[in-house]
Amino acid sequence: MSEHVTEAAGAFERTIQVEPADIDQLGHVNNVTYLRWVQDIAIAHWTATASEEDQKKFLWIVLRHEIDYKQPAFLGDELIVRTWVGQATRLKFERHTEFSRGRDNRLVAKALTVWCSVDPATGRPIEVSPEVRAAFSTP
């Protein structure tokens, strides 16, 4: 997998090759696979962008997932996965993720996930600083 951060847009991108384990009985990418990819790219974005100190200070849990499936993806497809944070409050980040097929640039699926920051020691919600919100939020 390749990945890079697009600084200007506040987005993080990763290219995924659809593997046999990603396919369901209908011959296309399984919905659970999309959910895993949404989580994987969110974690990768956080790890690539947040300071080491912030990575130790915050863990993230999901409060809600919404996924809209637009086109099927199949074995061997290359998908461009792009994620960014929209609204970010003291406790919650609204994260957007889009999956586009590389060969025709068609939108395959899009997701909206609400994440909550928690203290690693207590597991309780913890406030995210304005600096962290600013580093991830898009205008």
pLDDT tens-digit readout, 70-84: 999 999 999 999 999
For 82-107, how does the pLDDT look when each residue is reduced to its tens digit (9 = 90+)? 999 998 889 999 999 999 999 999 99
Pair 15, 4: CB distance under 8 Å:
no
The domain spans of the chain are: 2-136
pTM of the shown model? 0.88
For 42-71, how does the pLDDT look when each residue is reduced to its tens digit (9 = 90+)? 999 999 999 999 999 999 999 999 999 999
Q: What's the CATH fold of domain 2-136? A: Thiol Ester Dehydrase; Chain A (3.10.129)
Q: What's the pLDDT score for residue 8?
A: 38
Sheet holding 78-88, edge to edge: 2-6, 11-17, 78-88, 92-101, 107-118, 59-69
Answer yes or no: is pLDDT of 130 > 80: yes
Average pLDDT over residues 4-11: 52
Average pLDDT over residues 120-132: 92
